[in-house]
Chain A
């Protein structure tokens, strides 16, 4: 028995509560009536995204995507689409949306994602070079070595508008051009795979899923700038990515796609791996180079820029994994193809690790200019557990916290900077009303203080001071003067720190002060944390109406703060309470709550 068509009905939470279950029943009934029971299979699926448009129905093999399907629509879909083969236009997703930024790139209109960097991830076997080759792999290197001069390669990358995906967004072609213009001699090409941002794993997934694309891109860059040697600086915490890179390098060597005289072109290039050792600051270019040289990863003042004076004093280009993964596609499809995708200032796509309080966490790639709302609600399927969206965080410890009023901001480097955050490397963390922004700012500061290399005073001392203020506020000891002091420290750190880490470390504090001052004030004046996260500000209370006097909580309390006699309502002595929350967990009658 083989079916001819399949009706996929989304069984995600949002769709089910929106009537998806009835839609399934209705389809089964109508198909039976139409005599198609054996030709069309009705399948309930996992969440297909697009939850606000649910219930979603997708018809395979055509891939037609129907939204907001009500049980009464089913009859029409069966009669029109499945019997006569005619798409029911009125139920298709608003085609106006299709004409957006990416129309020329041939994207099915309902799909928000577009994969350039991740083109091979989840498609090829990363341990087989033949799989990569079959999907236009090492085709760009052919073109570059046999049809283009180094100058033309740099020109093409400049024209594509590609900007560094590591965070700051410096034009990649410019970097290459600077290095190319340096006098001939030993130059180096370095891939920054030291992805240290907590909550981000874009580069790891790319390296694990498509290692050859990075090798090819580095070889292209080497040819363009005149380097014969490349290093991949990768986190030691990524054993699988390291293993797959090692396999890939070995295979490329065997086939002569790395090493001496590549493909008989006369160009030679080799790549070595160097392991990081868990220092966030080594994501900074100059610190990274120090680390490859075998030193403590302390940044140096720029200029001189690495493109002039880098590894062992030689001209060096450092590009991040995601930046490099774009290169072979740009060469193959051309700069004009690439620079049609994205916004006026930022071309191409961005990979995000979408995590936190979102239903569908995942690794996603969207065209620049996509809004946060599309990412979080259409792709991410909205907020978990029916909670409210409170904020999104981009750029990790160097980024800012974005409040709901900016959900419709199209994402590019400039627009994110304008609202006090940064693009960063691609961590995108979603928060709901149970997350406290002051606590989050403290979390990030704790991270940067721990990771500050200690070389310059603004970062070393400023970060520590900021963290102390945040601890004071979350402990309920803050004053309004503290806020003023924090603002001054933020400014000083931003202006006077030596490297990017210190300059941006205050962003989580600045952005929360800017958008969530009311919550800071609640912590300071009312000694209240509305999210219930700051444990020192929490008060546990027993509702005498619900308390049965079972004594369980009193037995569990490690501080002896709960008293009361059997079968009588108990009380908590706030002065003794250590806010461990065990009483609330223990109570079988829901009599204990906190606020």
Chain B
């Protein structure tokens, strides 16, 4: 190793490291060799120059997100780490098959619970679990959504354990965010490391907006003409508003708020400067609860009165369908391997993280006795909210969670603390290992399409296991390499 090596102080610390095979951080895995050499050859100043360049690009592009719970709502740049995460094709092809299998099973499950409920009758999943899920929508019972698909856009979070096994952490089948960062990260890395990128056969991700639009158009109830698709946003105060504008622009469709839409005779129209235009497909980035004040929350100012009526009559399509949140429920999550077996007669290709369900008495007592060694999660929260990481918690926090669990066991699950894989990342002290996860985006239109890779999120704080952007996480570009 040369004296100014960027990796001279790097230590794997016995975690599974994405780049290195050995604990000393000297031998990169074959698919990382070129990136390792390139990084190692850079001087301090060249590196900081590249980081600067990336930061400036993000600022210029206005790529931001909003943090809730802080006064006045704070807009922040989603930090970008320019060291790409690399996945060899041989690994990706397994992930891809696993995700495809999972999304098909989840959609069959959603179809089933809103129709005959065979999986309940056959005793695989208790009815009370399905019915008590916060996002179960009885309005959907007996309804066939367009093309009989429920979750058209799904972001499934994957992590790797200390052996490097990919595990599913959770499914996001309501309104998953992050695809815009995936696209922007790629744009920026091409400029930051043009030669390294160009010299490797990285599978492209730029098709995402096109695939998304095709997915939406596929749902149109009017087959005879070009479908009118719109993106329905809650508005500028939403944490993902940047993404909404970005995707709408990339797809070339209108971005609308609830007040821009109106229902007449059970059809949905968009107000435009040239009069009303009938809408066929709504890519809604708005939770079920806010969609239609006549059916769901009466105080919703964000939705459209009469939208559910138009939807249930088949006059307009919604992506995702109403009621997909049942599959995001972390109690439902625990049953996905059994769903795959039940509906597809296959074993799950991607494993779940072992999960304790607090509504089961035996699980609950185990959880309460071992809070320090577990991660406790609220079954219906997302974004890293409502979570207890046992070994980093105070006695007071644990007490609070014990009380929450006992008073509402259905709403809590617990999992062992997984030491997520780490990836070399630019930090204050130079290049150091930080924990990462992976969110691939799955589209289900005519068929299931998955853009190679996904959004790699990185916990920038040292030792932190929480990668969510709302909790101080950043992101990396993800390269699926064809020839490995």
Q: Do A and B come from one complex?
A: no
B contact set with A: CB distance below 8 Å: none
